[in-house]
Amino acid sequence: MTKVYCKKYQEELPALDRPPYPGPRGEEIFNNVSKKAWMEWLQLQTMLINEKQLNLAEKETRDYLNDQLDKFLNNGDVDRPVGFKPVE
């Protein structure tokens, strides 16, 4: 199993199987983000899209989600759905 030094968790963890996006952004994520962190991001992204009723056809929505992704991967403050309680 291939490992990567995950920028979110600051440790070596199992890597993604392939870049999640085409181009440089996808390669950067592939080389620096673990499968664990990426799967957590996908869950958060899905919650944000559903709870905020985001329209992915709008550029502002895509920009917002990219900003949230950057914050998430760098351990910044990300938006959470109202009433969200993380599983402990």
User: Is 69 inside a domain boundary?
Assistant: yes
Per residue in 56-66, pLDDT tens?
A: 999 999 999 99
How far is residue 31's CA from residue 63's CA, in Å, rounded to a whole number? 22
Residue-number span of the structural domain to which 22 is assigned: 3-73
How far is residue 62's CA from residue 66's CA, in Å, rounded to a whole number? 6
User: Is 87 inside a domain boundary?
Assistant: no
Per DSSP, 15 falls in state B
Is pTM beyond 0.95? Reply is no
Per residue in 36-54, pLDDT tens?
A: 999 999 999 999 999 999 9
What CATH number does the domain containing 68 carry?
1.10.3880.10
User: Is 81 inside a domain boundary?
Assistant: no
**How many domains does the chain fold into?**
1
